[in-house]
Structure 1
Amino acid sequence: MTHTFRTPGCAALLCALSFNALADHAVTLPEVQITDVEDKQDGVLLDTPSQTGSRLGLTPRETPASISIVNHRQLEQRGAKNTQDALAGVPGMTAASPPGSAGSVAYRGFSGAQITQLFNGISVQYDSIAARPVDSWIYDRVEAIGGPSSFLFGAGAVGGSINYITKLASRDEEFNEGRLSYGSYDTSETAFGFNHALNDGDGVRNYARLDFSHTRSNGYADREQRDAWTVAFSLLTDINDQLSHTLAVEYQNEVVDSPYWGTPVLNPLGGEMKVDESRRFENYNVEDGRYEQRVRWLRSITEYRFDDATSLRNTLYHYNTERNFRNLETYAYSADNSHVNRSGALLQRHDQELNGNRLELLHEGQLFGRRSQWSSGLDYSHNVQMTYPRSINKVFDSVDPANFAPGHFYDLNGMVPGYDKNRQNTVNTWAAFVENRLQLSDRLSLLSGLRHDSIDLDVHNYRTVDANNPLDFKRSYEPTTGRIGLVYALTPAANVYVQYSTAADPPAGILSTASFATVRNFDLSTGKQIEVGSKFDFLDGLGSATIAAYQIERKNLATADPGNPGVTQPVGKQSSRGVEVAASLRVTPQLLAEGNVAYVDAQYDEFNENVGGRSVSRKGNTPTNIPERVANLWLTYDIDPSWQIGADSRYVSSVYADAANTRYAPSYTVFGAFVGYKVDDDTRITARVRNLTDEVYARWTSSSMLYLGAPRTLELAVQTRF
């Protein structure tokens, strides 16, 4: 059993206080904080309720944690084409979508499975693969919380959590809207949506929303083509004044022909990693390479309000997906850089189904004469994933990059059609959680939370049985994680906070695809964070800012045994510490400046790597794909009521490509610009250029390849609402 939150008597105290609080009814809540700041739609959003930082519906200003919100207006203003583009709004976060790990995110010194990526608050427990960038049209906003947050969403989330939140039917307004765009590489988008009341008068009321988008592109890499459909439909039914129900359905279908996996790095390998820029986007995949993903979401959300103080919410959900890979994935130059050796053929299929239910009780009352807010509940999920990998790691050929035939997948020596079962992983999770916000004084509030998970992993092997790959094995885990934090209001518009939070996650890999070799008899790794910060408005509300300093430590990650390098043991340790700043300022009535900057010092404190049968210490080294500095800036200027111009820039410092820190991808800065014309109050035309200077840069790196970002591209879009 793993216990990572050790406040003596905390669980018993919280449960006792919860029953006392639930006994209160019809109380008058005191005003805690008065502010003149409006609910802004741009800049740093401090007063917009967040679904990610807490279950209590608190705003970032009220939460003792780093909470970032990028709403749909900012997504459109910044030209975010997909969910990963939106993540630039989170200080210090980087993301990329190489096909084999298309949900790659780095945050606060951690990456991969240590960052939880949620869909409407639900984790599919396979984030770095399942969280592919999705076209942004169906999303209302993207939110993120920095640092350990398992106490909110379950195992994982040592570095932080990201939440992609879909648009839902609303009672607030009726509209129809659409967008058409066309740009470089024949990239096009057709999107529309509407929100309408289906009936009026007394009795049951229904509201429907539909959002649809279709995008196509030839891709900036040679021969790559992408076609994607996304649909989100929701029906909100107000049965009476107390009871409502929302049915939400989403469907995503993405097909990529001959996916670009990356560009090989020139020899000699060591120091700065360089590519042949004349072959910048040569695609060494086979002609019929393929990636496909079909995703189906169904949510049934029932809300019942007992009175103004107490409500119940139940979310029943279903997720089903099929992913298919058929690619030649790895490329490396010959010693004299005259040819490219192609290897790593993989035929893969994932069948995954997730079913679950979350029950939440929310209550507002008084405790010791002070305002108290509670959230408590139960969470259950049943996750089953079957994998069908067939891989051959040998070198298949050596091609002249100036003149080669890409060939076909099933012509590769040893590769034949058909899928063979590998493993079926079943992960059952039961969890109980409780969270409280207590207003200790007019200025000081205490936020606390606990979650206890009971996780059962059951793996069945369909391949050859041996000592390292048994026919069946089971593991059980019982982590308890939590957060406790204080917020002190210096003024109605400025506060300071401090918090301590914990997390738990597998020592290596992901439970939904774990093998016996990755879990063995290990318990979960544990993580903890101390964070201090401030959130404030300045210049009479013209500007808003947040600043946070943190230290995170993760213990018991898998590392090579110094005495037996072929065996791993859960004794590794990794840490990070950093500072993040985000700010926005209405410089003049016409000029808005927004930006963020982050610094992180991440390192292995205790980690050994198996190198050719030897255990080599990497203590003090920086983990791969973790930049030390990241900065973003957006400027928008209203020339007059009809014309608007803007510019943006993004800087990412160099990252290491190996645990030995002998190879690195260089730092980069990219710029963008746009001009917008408002035809009328409802219609806008925007011309946008991305990567203005045509910078050659790597969004992600492996030991011998760079996954390059897009070159300079142009786009023209028309968006209207009626």
Structure 2
Amino acid sequence: MFLFQRFTLRPLAVAVLALGSPFLAMADEATVLGEVRVSGQAENDAITLKRKTSTGSRLGLTIQETPAAVTVVGRETLEQRGVGNTQEALRGVPGISWSSDPGSSGTVFFRGFSGASVTQMFNGITVQYDSIAARPVDSWIYDRVETIGGASSFLNGAGGVGGSVNNITKLANRDGETSEAKVGVGSYDKKQLAVGTNRQLSDNHYLRLDINREEGGTWVDGMRREATQFAGSWLVDLTPALSHTLAVEYQKETVDRPYWGTPTLRGSGGTMQIDRETRFRNYNSRDGIYEQTVQWARSVLDYRVSDTLKLKNTVYAYDALRDYRNVEVYAFNAGNTAVARSAALLQRHDQKLLGNRFEFTWDSTLGGKTSTWAGGVDYSINKQTRFPLSLAGPFGTVDPYHFSTEAFFSIPGMVPGFTPDRSNRVKTLALFLENRTLLTPALALVSGLRWEQIDLEVTNLRAASASNPAYFERRYQPLTGRLALNYELTPQWSTYVQYSTAADPPAGILTTASFSQVRDFDLTTGRQWEIGSKYLFADNKGQATVAYYDIVRRNIAVADPVNPGTTLPVGQQSSQGIELAVSYKPAPQWRLDGNLGIVSAQYDDFTENVGGVAVSRAGKRPANVPERVANAWLTFTPHAQWELGADARYVSARFGDTANTYRDQAYTLFGAYVSYKLDRKTSLTLRGKNLSDEVYAERVSGTGMAYLGAPRTVELSLHTRF
């Protein structure tokens, strides 16, 4: 069946299934608790401080009890805001910005950091290739997106200096039988069809299936996208205390002639200027392509040993294949009369991850004080082989407005087929432990510690040399942690202070690291101080959060000032900032949400190799990091059948290079929607995004290219539950 089209994942999937099969055989003999039905009014999805989250801690804490800036964007909010993919969901997080350009389509900027310094997970699992593997996925199959700001390696492993993002899939549950469907059409020939159902198959068997199909919606000339996502899960109550969940996911995405960016005009005095006539132009090869196939399998056993001790074991398998065939860089000539095209790349990424995580939570006492422990062990093997063929070019120039481009394999020197470059194998063993002890009924001490042993083995599959040996290996053993106090001033108001640490892979990501990137470097290290407060007000109709942080990342790879052709493990990057968020329902028919992030980020000690010369970048802001990001939403329900909404997003100007000589302009986006309930379970929604048709960049490149965001679009959707 399509779920396991690639033979290479089948052994992994079979292993996951085998782990669950002995317990499944017991199901018919198990004693299962009788059906329990709970009724009541659903919690307002925006008011989340009393909701438990696993992203900020494994201790089973609510957001208010967690001494960190934790945000949850739940399913209700995703639907109400018309969130199309996992990146759009991040508007609900203070200060975050992102870019989905194909070369690093999962890039997220959080608290002044990006790349490997922001961990991105799927169901609590990182594939250690986040800026590529965390490509935005259509949101239908996801239940929520959760984040924690700042240093969080003690939770999720190496990385996470700037924060962590966790995309959590819908799972089979015991909450009753539900089914839903959505059909939508929109600008640029966009079409969507999605269905989902949660069913109780018997007294102790529950099944959930979700599938989404989307095509079109691409606004650049010649570009075409088709994407399918499937998520299925099977929950079995084996005994009253033991349950097993088998979850599988399949994602297939094909983009013909993907858009890589727009050349900006020369001679603009350092400020990005876009020729509006080139806004929709696509300078890629006429048969360029991006394609990915992603498969997940998880086997999760939950065992409640007693009221105070719970065990959980997760076996996980991941398989991804990504193909690129593109001409990726375009630049105006000095007179802005022609566009030069260069950087042809034929590449394949073949990545597999297999792991097992065992964890526990234990409620106990410590010195007579109420104390909760959480901990466990995680072991994984992550292997990736890349197959690059790159030609620098240039490949001639074209008229900026009237042109045709070549077939990719007509480029001299570019031939079909994939030749492997190197294989990176990363083995990770992690031991982690957390504790929360109530020093007084209102004051909690929260701590966490994580030790990892990371073994990197790289096999060179091409000709060996002194700078690229046939084989090399490195071992890293980071120890990271958190120490925090959380004080409950009242049941509605808490404040906290925390100190946490993190460790990053050297010079990027270990699953793609080369010999020169890791030869002389240890893991980079980071630390964070954070204070914050969380407050419920107006009889729990509103909530507000505030956090101030100070982060320092050390030991980054920089150019040697004496010998610019080499690099040294020195340097420092820092950021300080404040984040605010508010949700408020002043009346049943009104809802207001907003957030604001302000960050001062800079290189404290950074030397860059510029044409063989060492140049200091101390005091410069990291590329593509805005100082201010703000979001606001307002919804109004004048009648039981009608809902109206408006939203705005502001992003301040960013630099495209570490020299801070090239920048874009601040931008503001506006959106609105109107929704009409045809009946109690069916609604029709008309939604507009970027209503002012702002020309803006998601990301600015020092090469003089800008990856532009979408123009004005309109969508019409029908959503029904049955």
Q: Which TM-score band (shorter chain)?
A: over 0.9
**CA–CA distance in structure 2, aligned partners of residues 720 and 382 of structure 1:** 42
Q: What's the offset of the Cα at 1:269?
A: 5.7
**CA–CA distance in structure 1, aligned partners of residues 41 and 439 of structure 2:** 25
Which residues of 2 match residues 424-435 of structure 1 at below 5 A?
424-435=423-434
Q: What's the offset of the Cα at 1:588?
A: 2.5
Counterpart amino acid of 2:558? T
**CA–CA distance in structure 2, aligned partners of residues 316 and 42 of structure 1:** 31
**CA–CA distance in structure 2, aligned partners of residues 499 and 719 of structure 1:** 43
1:711 matched to 2:711: yes
Which residues of 2 match residues 421-500 of structure 1 at below 5 A?
421-500=420-499
**CA–CA distance in structure 2, aligned partners of residues 694 and 718 of structure 1:** 25
Q: What's the offset of the Cα at 1:589?
A: 2.4
**CA–CA distance in structure 2, aligned partners of residues 598 and 39 of structure 1:** 30
Q: Which residue of 2 aligns with 1:101?
A: 104
Counterpart amino acid of 1:71? G
Match of 1:125 among 124, 128, 131: 128
**CA–CA distance in structure 1, aligned partners of residues 664 and 190 of structure 2:** 28
Q: What's the offset of the Cα at 1:38?
A: 9.1
Which residues of 2 match residues 280-299 of structure 1 at below 5 A?
280-299=279-298
Counting aligned pairs with the same residue, the percent is: 55
Q: Provide TM-score, normalisation by structure 2.
A: 0.94
1:87 matched to 2:73: no
Q: Secondary structure, in 3 states, of the residue corresponding to 1:137?
A: helix
Counterpart amino acid of 2:49? L
**CA–CA distance in structure 2, aligned partners of residues 174 and 540 of structure 1:** 32
Q: Secondary structure, in 3 states, of the residue corresponding to 1:562?
A: coil
Q: Secondary structure, in 3 states, of the residue corresponding to 2:559?
A: strand
**CA–CA distance in structure 2, aligned partners of residues 261 and 568 of structure 1:** 30
Deviations 1:217-267 (A, max 9, x none): 151111110000000000000001011000000000000000000000100
Q: What's the offset of the Cα at 1:541?
A: 2.1
1:647 matched to 2:646: yes
The answer as to whether partners of 1:44 and 1:582 remain within 8 angstroms in 2 is no
Counterpart amino acid of 1:715? E
Q: What's the offset of the Cα at 1:540?
A: 2.7
The answer as to whether partners of 2:47 and 2:541 remain within 8 angstroms in 1 is no
Q: Secondary structure, in 3 states, of the residue corresponding to 1:396?
A: coil
**CA–CA distance in structure 1, aligned partners of residues 219 and 550 of structure 2:** 39
Q: What's the offset of the Cα at 1:618?
A: 0.2
Which residues of 2 match residues 110-121 of structure 1 at below 5 A?
110-121=113-124
Counterpart amino acid of 1:344? A
Q: Which residue of 2 aligns with 1:211?
A: 210
Gaps of 5+ in 1: 1-36
The answer as to whether partners of 1:269 and 1:663 remain within 8 angstroms in 2 is no
The answer as to whether partners of 2:142 and 2:169 remain within 8 angstroms in 1 is yes
Q: What's the offset of the Cα at 1:665?
A: 1.1
Gaps of 5+ in 2: 1-39
Match of 1:55 among 55, 58, 61: 58
Q: Which residue of 1 aligns with 2:159?
A: 156
Counterpart amino acid of 2:430? A
Q: Which residue of 1 aligns with 2:37?
A: none
Q: Secondary structure, in 3 states, of the residue corresponding to 1:402?
A: coil
1:189 matched to 2:192: yes
Q: What's the offset of the Cα at 1:39?
A: 7.2
Q: Which residue of 2 aligns with 1:24?
A: none
**CA–CA distance in structure 2, aligned partners of residues 96 and 78 of structure 1:** 19
Q: What's the offset of the Cα at 1:143?
A: 0.2
**CA–CA distance in structure 1, aligned partners of residues 42 and 436 of structure 2:** 22
Counterpart amino acid of 2:79? E
Q: What's the offset of the Cα at 1:463?
A: 1.9
Counterpart amino acid of 1:162? V
**CA–CA distance in structure 2, aligned partners of residues 453 and 38 of structure 1:** 44
**CA–CA distance in structure 1, aligned partners of residues 88 and 217 of structure 2:** 19
The answer as to whether partners of 1:100 and 1:129 remain within 8 angstroms in 2 is yes
Counterpart amino acid of 2:58? R
Counterpart amino acid of 2:565? G
Q: Secondary structure, in 3 states, of the residue corresponding to 1:287?
A: coil
Q: Secondary structure, in 3 states, of the residue corresponding to 2:213?
A: strand
Q: Which residue of 1 aligns with 2:48?
A: 45
Q: Secondary structure, in 3 states, of the residue corresponding to 2:188?
A: helix
1:140 matched to 2:143: yes
Q: Which residue of 1 aligns with 2:255?
A: 256
Counterpart amino acid of 1:164? N
Q: Which residue of 1 aligns with 2:225?
A: 226
Q: Secondary structure, in 3 states, of the residue corresponding to 1:51?
A: coil
Deviations 1:78-110 (A, max 9, x none): 000000000000100011100000001000000
The answer as to whether partners of 1:363 and 1:373 remain within 8 angstroms in 2 is yes
**CA–CA distance in structure 2, aligned partners of residues 588 and 103 of structure 1:** 38
Q: What's the offset of the Cα at 1:467?
A: 1.6
Q: What's the offset of the Cα at 1:306?
A: 0.7
Deviations 1:548-573 (A, max 9, x none): 00000000000000001110111010
**CA–CA distance in structure 2, aligned partners of residues 436 and 212 of structure 1:** 39
Q: What's the offset of the Cα at 1:40?
A: 3.1
Deviations 1:438-472 (A, max 9, x none): 11111100110000000000001112222211111
Counterpart amino acid of 2:486? V
Counterpart amino acid of 2:580? V
Q: What's the offset of the Cα at 1:365?
A: 1.7
Q: Secondary structure, in 3 states, of the residue corresponding to 1:185?
A: coil
Q: What's the offset of the Cα at 1:534?
A: 0.2
**Structure 1 pair 720/321, CA: closer, same or farther in 2 (3 Å)?**
same
Q: What's the offset of the Cα at 1:45?
A: 1.5
Counterpart amino acid of 1:110? F
Q: What's the offset of the Cα at 1:688?
A: 0.2
Deviations 1:378-405 (A, max 9, x none): 0000000000000011201100022111
Q: Which residue of 1 aligns with 2:625?
A: 626
Q: Secondary structure, in 3 states, of the residue corresponding to 1:371?
A: strand
Q: Secondary structure, in 3 states, of the residue corresponding to 1:253?
A: strand
**CA–CA distance in structure 2, aligned partners of residues 57 and 343 of structure 1:** 52
Question: What is the number of equivalent residue pairs in this alignment?
Answer: 682
Q: Secondary structure, in 3 states, of the residue corresponding to 1:361?
A: strand
Q: Provide TM-score, normalisation by structure 1.
A: 0.94
Q: Secondary structure, in 3 states, of the residue corresponding to 1:664?
A: coil
Which residues of 2 match residues 206-355 of structure 1 at below 5 A?
206-268=205-267, 270-355=269-354
The answer as to whether partners of 2:310 and 2:362 remain within 8 angstroms in 1 is yes
Q: Which residue of 2 aligns with 1:28?
A: none
The answer as to whether partners of 1:544 and 1:585 remain within 8 angstroms in 2 is yes
Q: What's the offset of the Cα at 1:307?
A: 0.8
**CA–CA distance in structure 1, aligned partners of residues 415 and 375 of structure 2:** 52
Q: Which residue of 1 aligns with 2:171?
A: 168
Considering only aligned residues, what root-mean-square deviation do their CA atoms show, in Å?
Answer: 1.1
